[in-house]
Amino acid sequence: MIPYVELDRNQTYYLMFINAGRTATLDNASSQLMRFPMHEITDFMTRDHRLCDDCLVAVEQAIVNGAWELAGTEFIRFRDALLYHFLAEESVLFPRFEQRTGMSLGPTQVMRSEHVQMRQLLAAAEAALADRDADEYAGHAETLLIMMQQHNVKEENVLYPMCDQQLADQLLELLPELQKQLATGGKVAA
């Protein structure tokens, strides 16, 4: 397997592949993708779960330190990371899985339903943060965190492995599409 690292999400967000001292950007790395193991979707999307988790921790740390403006900035990073993650799943991964398996009312529908609930909690937490109401924020953020943890376990242990199995032949096109959604939310740079 060829190791890779993700650049900062706010940059163009390329995948970098490292092989015998050479690096290649996403544009010329398609042949490298063929060497990925069968659990690549699981690994790729799980890494993004951890990125979202880290962003939420940064918000919490800023609030504990009384740095409300920093908390607001970190929350925007968290919100965008989480919403872009949902978008990558809902616009790229889930439709491909559903098309391949014919299951549109199965696990992807459950995940979409949970995304709706998490979006509502996210909005409530953002409002509490804007009001600088630490207790209200903590309540919404704790509920969101618990829901995210439960949701991620289902995706990482059930849905993503199913995607790895069903979509292995589509990795060359699927991973760059997911990467673009995670980086930009599907927005095209002007």
pLDDT digits (tens, 9 = 90+) for 125-152: 999 999 999 999 999 999 999 999 999 9
Amino acid 3: pLDDT: 37
**Partners of residue 19 on adjacent β-strands:** 22
Mean pLDDT by 10 residues, the chain (190 residues): 38 30 39 52 95 96 96 97 97 97 93 98 98 96 98 97 95 92 69
> Token pair for residue 89?
């799943």
Query: Residue 83 has what pLDDT?
Result: 97
- Among the listed residues 41, 38, 42, 76, the one whose alpha carbon sits nearest the alpha carbon of residue 56: 76
Q: Which CATH number fits domain 38-184: 3.90.1690, 1.10.3580, 1.20.120, 3.40.50?
A: 1.20.120
Contact 98, 90 (CB under 8 A): no
Strand ranges across the sheet with 22-24: 4-6, 15-19, 22-24
Nearest Cα residue to 83 out of 108, 107, 116: 116
Which pLDDT score is estimated for 187? Answer: 65
The per-residue pLDDT for 184 is: 82
pTM of the model: 0.78
pLDDT tens figures, 39-56: 799 999 999 999 999 999
DSSP conformation letters of the chain: ---EEEPPTTS---EEEEETTEEE-GGG-HHHHTT--TTHHHHHHHHHHHHHHHHHHHHHHHHHTT-HHHHHHHHHHHHHHHHHHHHHIIIIIHHHHHHHH--SSSHHHHHHHHHHHHHHHHHHHHHHHHTT-HHHHHHHHHHHHHHHHHHHHHIIIIIHHHHHHHHGGGHHHHHHHHHHHHHHTTPPP-
